[in-house]
Structure 1
Amino acid sequence: MATNNPYAAYAKYVKKTVKEEGENQDVQTEVATSSALKSVPETNTRAYMGVPPKPNATKSIPPKPAGAQAVSANNYLESKILTAPPENLTLMLYEGAIRFMNQAVIYISAKNNEKTNVAIQRAQDIFIELMSTLNQEIEMSKNLFSLYEFMNYRLVEANIEKDPEKLREVITMTKELRDTWEEAMKQYKAI
């Protein structure tokens, strides 16, 4: 059941992320500027990525030009992920989970249940991928599996209840894991 190849486990996340990174960048910009979340139209990102708008899209906002910039950003992200050492992939997964959970907190405050659900599910996907890469023969992996499982459970609760406090709890735990992993990487490289 467990896969010890982080590249294989990361493949599912990569495909999703590369296709949807344009939307994430729009959201990150939105978060950084603290502007109203409702001003980001769904059709805008699809047009920017060169995808035709959904047939039932009701908003008519001029699309961003699809072109070399969007393709270049996706190629860069894909290249970054595929050439990263395995230890950096874990760090990227932690950072991605934190980003998606922060987005979910903002979407909850904006009362956007659909986007909240999507952001939380993407964070859950990351924890499931982290769980699948663990070597269950190692005691520490069993402990990490239990921790990821608990965090995933809290995300389910947060999604059902639309509770930002439960999300913040998991964000804090994930930041601690990320910081610990980053420190372990530095110490390993120093050897």
Structure 2
Amino acid sequence: MEKSYGIYLAYFFMALIALNALRALFRGEYNAMVTAVLMLGMTVIPFVVAKRMNINLPWFVFFLVALALWIHTAGYVQGYYTTFYPYYDKIAHIVSGTAVAVLGFLGVIFVDKYMKMNLNTWFIIFFTIIFGMAMGAAWEIYEFLVDFFFGGSLAGPMQNSLNDTMLDMMFVLAGSIVVALLGVFWFKQHRKEEITQGARIPV
């Protein structure tokens, strides 16, 4: 993995997640602490994958993942989902939608390489949007189930109305489209093989 100054932005938000975990621990909010620890663990996954597969991921991939997970962590631990409702929730969805779409974009390129599918550029762009929307829909189903079985999350009800759910999906779609458009511009100057060059599947 290439080192760049941008990667320190990811480290910064990882540190903020860790501080939120400590805050929850000292306040005796153990459910919030567990949530923060899980979020922190998820920020490490891209680093592990990049190292094991010898992938030079751009710094903004780590940054987006860490930022999205910090937003969710702070929303629960600091109560931002409630304090700044509904704006904070929408910011969380557009950032998460962007991060997930980036992972989908990179993921399909690696699948294309190892499965020797020879996918064309426009299929990859289309898949990026569909993947982002699919993950957004899966999250909305998760929110519905949490509300249905547990009466809500640490921040209260996760879904307040049909309008709220549809707006969430629209913000996820917006983030996915932004990534897709950036992908179009990227493909005009680069080949998809540049991303997978040197990568390997660990045995």
- Say yes or no: TM over 0.5: no
TM-score (norm 1): 0.34
Instruction: Tell me the TM-score normalised to structure 2 length.
Output: 0.32
